């Protein structure tokens, strides 16, 4: 049985992170097991920057972000320098490690595990692009915020007819947020990195709808696709004014939704059970409505597919 569990967030600053950390700390304190929070992710791990965690952090569970801080240092060897995994763990005073993060961070966790550390991973990114799990912490909160923005834009659109609205979501180079938002908000089109998109075709579809009496159009696009140029293309092809709303980092913050809080608790319970059972070097995952453990190989060996059915339902309607 582990004597002291370390928790770090590496890029895992999505809504639900704090709830998950707090749940682990509470479970551990009930069992008389110590927990140390590692500050600033793998950078803090290399520096031995830790704080003790107990039930006093429960009040932070409702907050977005991560009170431990984070880093995006995927160069684990560079961060550790000449140290090895055991040196870093010993310096932090922990003998097992729970890592909350996205795909790059979990790959680093797998590398750390391969170097001899006892590691359990928790998928934590609004992008929801981690293979092996249907949902990652923060995704539901980010999509809910985007759908709410789309609803509010459409409220405005009813008073300002003959306009086309372009909603730009986060997502990095993956379209999971954009697709989920577009599907739930009944958008006219969604543009993502994983598929070739055609602004002229989407604009022609929207123009036909509006010429027939529809008052407005809505297109959702993922960030880093060039929203300004897309807006110009849509305007030229539709003959309508186009207005852009870029959600930016509003999607990363804020209180987690009910689903993310529930998932955070379930992930925390499973990760803690795995630590007690010495079931190391795996990631907790939410698949088919249940929480289980999957090999780190599932994270690093493939790329998570988009929801092709929802993508088609938006673009082919």
Catalytic residue positions?
127
- For residues 127 and 222, what is the distance between their CA atoms, to the nearest angstrom? 11
Asked if 293 and 270 touch (Cβ cutoff 8 Å), the reply is yes
Q: What is the C-alpha R_g of the chain? A: 22
SS (H, E, C) 201-250: HHHHHHHHHHHCCCCEEEEEEECCCCHHHHHHHHHHHHCCEEEEEECHHH
Please tell me the total number of residues recorded for the chain in this structure. 317
- For residues 199 and 234, what is the distance between their CA atoms, to the nearest angstrom? 6
Asked if 197 and 274 touch (Cβ cutoff 8 Å), the reply is no
Structure token digits, residue 243: 């207005």
User: What is the distance, to the nearest Å, from the Cα of residue 93 to the centroid of all Cα atoms in its chain?
Assistant: 29
Describe the strand order of the beta sheet including 216-222 as a list of residue ranges.
189-191, 216-222, 163-169, 241-246
């Amino acid at each position: 049985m582990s004597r002291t569990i370390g928790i770090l967030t590496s890029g895992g600053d999505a809504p639900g992170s704090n709830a998950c950390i707090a749940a682990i700390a509470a479970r551990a304190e009930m069992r008389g097991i110590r927990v140390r929070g590692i500050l600033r992710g793998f950078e803090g791990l290399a520096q031995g920057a830790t704080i003790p965690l107990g039930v006093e952090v429960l009040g932070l569970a409702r907050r977005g972000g991560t009170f431990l801080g984070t880093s995006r240092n995927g160069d684990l060897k560079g961060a550790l320098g000449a140290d090895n995994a055991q040196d870093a763990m010993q310096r932090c005073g922990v003998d097992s490690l729970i890592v909350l993060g996205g795909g790059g961070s979990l790959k680093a966790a797998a590398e750390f595990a391969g170097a001899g550390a006892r590691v359990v991973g928790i998928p934590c990114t609004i992008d929801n692009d981690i293979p092996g799990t249907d949902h990652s912490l923060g995704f539901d909160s980010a999509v809910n915020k985007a759908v709410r923005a789309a609803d509010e834009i459409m409220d405005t659109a009813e008073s300002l007819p003959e306009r086309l609205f372009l909603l730009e979501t986060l997502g990095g180079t993956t379209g999971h947020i954009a697709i989920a938002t577009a599907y739930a908000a009944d958008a006219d089109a969604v543009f993502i990195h994983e598929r070739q998109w055609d602004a002229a075709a989407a604009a022609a579809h929207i123009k036909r709808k509006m010429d027939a009496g529809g008052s407005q159009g809505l297109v959702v696009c993922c960030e880093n696709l060039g929203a300004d140029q897309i807006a110009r293309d849509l305007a030229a092809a539709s003959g309508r004014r186009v207005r852009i709303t870029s959600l930016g980092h509003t999607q990363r913050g804020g209180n987690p939704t009910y689903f993310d809080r529930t998932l955070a608790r379930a992930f925390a319970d499973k990760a803690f059970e795995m630590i007690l059972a010495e079931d190391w070097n795996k990631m907790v995952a939410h698949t088919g409505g249940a929480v289980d453990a999957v090999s780190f190989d599932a994270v690093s060996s493939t790329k998570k597919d988009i929801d092709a059915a929802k993508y088609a339902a938006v673009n082919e309607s």
